[in-house]
Amino acid sequence: MHRFLCALLAAAVSVSYGSQSPRGNVSLVVTGGTVVTVDGTGRVLSSAAVAIDGRDIVAVDAAAAIAQRFTAARTIDATGQVVLPGLINTHTHAPMVLYRGLADDLALMEWLQKYIFPAEARTVSPAFVRAGTRLAALEMIQSGTTTYADMYYFEEEIARATREAGIRGVLGQTIIQFPVPDAKTPADGIARATEFIRQWKNDILIVPAIAPHSMYTLDVESLKSIRAVADRERAPLIIHLAETADEVKIARDKYQATPTEFLDSIGAFSGRTVAAHGVHLTPGDIKVLAQRRVGVSHNPESNMKLASGTAPVPALQAAGVAVGLGTDGAASNNDLDMFEAMRVAALLHKHTSNDPRALPAASAIKMATIDGARALGMEREIGSLEPGKRADLILVSMSAARQTPMYDPLSHLVYVTRGDDVRTVIVNGTVVMQDRRVLTLNEKAVLDEAAVWAAKVREAVK
Ligand SMILES: [Zn+2]
């Protein structure tokens, strides 16, 4: 009897393990949705699944194939939803959400000098930055952003709040010539940035960076020292570049060069650089940016709202420059919704070029995902749904009246979807929002704290 049972067991084992490969255990499977991979061939799979183990994606395939290959500790049903890589916002100033709608429809200099600079001088502090980052992170999670690049003050507070929220940040400590709340001189700012980079350089979610504000708000000596720190610490350098016609005029008058030519001449692009805006670029500038592999962040809503001009995105892309999308700070947008950024980018370039074929939906999605990752130098880790990459993905509902019917998920993601349609967000294999419930932040506490700061901001600009 005993021998017979053993033989039976052996037979059973040979059936489950002999005729097919063993099932692997994974921590999470997201199954049943339409998966927009944004991989090298742009695969879009219906009734598909993503298998995740720990922080990594291990397989992307038909739902049935994934079910056969893996046993999941946890399963999320994505039926009726589109699954895509988490969105990458390549340029913002997170705490500025607390200045959202403070002053609109003004010329840039009046807006800055009458409202933003006085408000910043009187309110920016570590506590302000923490509260603002929590609010920004809440908004980003709720609208599907899983990685963002930032430039602001007290960046170590931003790093802590971002880490608590469970999203990725490429966070640049800002350096500027005039005294600011966290540094009296550029040298103070550089020392702060160096310390910040050293403290955060091995974090799983945070990439610390150094952020010289721009070529027109720093002297040559400071810009060179900042580049040296970035090289020594192997940290990305984030800078505003050629945002306005005024900046081009300053560069001409002061250095007889374009902002790009000037920065290149002092070696500012010698290592990983992310340049925000790139609105006023010559064909020669575009060549330099391509040669130096500078990533560019396109911020269509901010550029339109401040009437800065239209960045030559198709020309940059044709030259091989990695162009990501950004929202810029909420004071000049006025939100952090990357779906809106995709839509506005797609519309703006058709309108400007008189060509409806300019910047198609698939291209806008790439800018918000894999091209954003390339611009930040993170394309090996994030930006597409492929085995071996970090599990940063979002599930987007497609059942609203405005999304019905759906013939083409790429079209819908760009032309009708809003941040509010995001249902579930996963970062580094961890669920940070499920069915609209943010799990890493106390939503009510974040909003209450923002209201307290709003009263102080109102007082500061009286
Ligand atoms: Zn900016």
When pLDDT is cut at 50, 70 and 90, the band that residue 62 belongs to is: very high
| Total residues found in the chain within this entry | 462
**Spatial CA neighbour of 237 closest among 187, 156, 172:** 172
Burial of 451 (0-12, 13-18, 19+ CB in 10 A): exposed
Contact 259, 248 (CB under 8 A): yes
User: Which tens digits make up the pLDDT trace of 386-431?
Assistant: 999 999 999 999 999 999 999 999 999 999 999 999 999 999 999 9
Ligand 1 geometric centre to CA of 91 (Å):
6
Collect all residues with Cβ–Cβ distance below 8 Å to 162 and sequence separation of at least 6. 94, 133, 137, 168, 169, 171, 205, 206
Alpha carbon distance 381, 181 (integer Å): 34
When pLDDT is cut at 50, 70 and 90, the band that residue 65 belongs to is: very high
User: Which tens digits make up the pLDDT trace of 301-337?
Assistant: 999 999 999 999 999 999 999 999 999 999 889 999 9
When pLDDT is cut at 50, 70 and 90, the band that residue 21 belongs to is: low
Ion ligand 1 residue ranges (Cβ < 5 Å): 328
% residues pLDDT > 70 (the chain):
95
Q: How many CA atoms lie within 13 A of 258 on its CB side?
A: 20
Q: What is the predicted pLDDT for the residue at 107? A: 81
Collect all residues with Cβ–Cβ distance below 8 Å to 319 and sequence separation of at least 6. 286, 287, 289, 290
Contact 133, 152 (CB under 8 A): no
Q: What is the mean pLDDT of residues 138-160?
A: 98
User: Which tens digits make up the pLDDT trace of 263-301?
Assistant: 999 999 999 999 999 999 999 999 999 999 999 999 999
Contact 302, 92 (CB under 8 A): no
Q: What is the predicted pLDDT for the residue at 75? A: 98
Ligand 1 geometric centre to CA of 120 (Å):
15
Which alpha helices (DSSP H) does 297-337 contain, by range?
300-305, 313-318
**Spatial CA neighbour of 50 closest among 80, 277, 350, 65:** 65
Q: Compute the C-alpha angle 285/321/376, nearest 5°.
A: 115
- Report residue 246 as tokens: 């005024």
Q: What is the predicted pLDDT for the residue at 109? A: 77
- Report residue 94 as tokens: 């997170």
Alpha carbon distance 386, 50 (integer Å): 9
Q: What is the predicted pLDDT for the residue at 117? A: 84
Whether 20 has a pLDDT exceeding 80, the answer reads no
Ligand 1 geometric centre to CA of 50 (Å):
35
Query: Strands (DSSP E) along 283-385, which ranges?
Result: 295-298, 323-325
User: Which tens digits make up the pLDDT trace of 431-440?
Assistant: 999 999 999 9
- Report residue 205 as tokens: 């979610």
Whether 6 has a pLDDT exceeding 60, the answer reads no
Q: What is the mean pLDDT of residues 373-377?
A: 98
**Spatial CA neighbour of 269 closest among 253, 258, 254:** 258
Alpha carbon distance 278, 308 (integer Å): 10
Ligand 1 geometric centre to CA of 41 (Å):
33
Ligand 1 geometric centre to CA of 395 (Å):
28
Whether 157 has a pLDDT exceeding 80, the answer reads yes
User: Which tens digits make up the pLDDT trace of 341-360?
Assistant: 999 999 999 999 999 999 99
Contact 190, 225 (CB under 8 A): yes
Whether 3 has a pLDDT exceeding 80, the answer reads no
Ligand 1 geometric centre to CA of 9 (Å):
66
Distance from the Cα of residue 147 to its chain's centroid: 4
Collect all residues with Cβ–Cβ distance below 8 Å to 95 and sequence separation of at least 6. 124, 128, 129, 131, 132, 133, 136, 152, 158
Q: How many CA atoms lie within 13 A of 250 on its CB side?
A: 16
Burial of 212 (0-12, 13-18, 19+ CB in 10 A): buried
Ligand 1 geometric centre to CA of 242 (Å):
11
Looking at every residue in the chain, the average pLDDT score rounds to 94
Whether 14 has a pLDDT exceeding 50, the answer reads no
Q: What is the predicted pLDDT for the residue at 312? A: 98
Give backbone dihedrals phi and psi of 347, rounded to 5 degrees, phi first. -75, -45
Alpha-carbon Rg of the chain, whole angstroms?
24
Alpha carbon distance 47, 26 (integer Å): 19
Ligand 1 geometric centre to CA of 75 (Å):
39
Ligand 1 geometric centre to CA of 60 (Å):
36
Whether 17 has a pLDDT exceeding 70, the answer reads no
Ligand 1 geometric centre to CA of 338 (Å):
15
Collect all residues with Cβ–Cβ distance below 8 Å to 395 and sequence separation of at least 6. 30, 33, 76, 78, 81, 82, 83, 422, 423, 424, 425
Ligand 1 geometric centre to CA of 329 (Å):
6
Ligand 1 geometric centre to CA of 32 (Å):
39
Q: What is the mean pLDDT of residues 45-65?
A: 98
Distance from the Cα of residue 236 to its chain's centroid: 14
When pLDDT is cut at 50, 70 and 90, the band that residue 19 belongs to is: very low
Per the DSSP assignment, residues forming a β-bridge with 186 are none
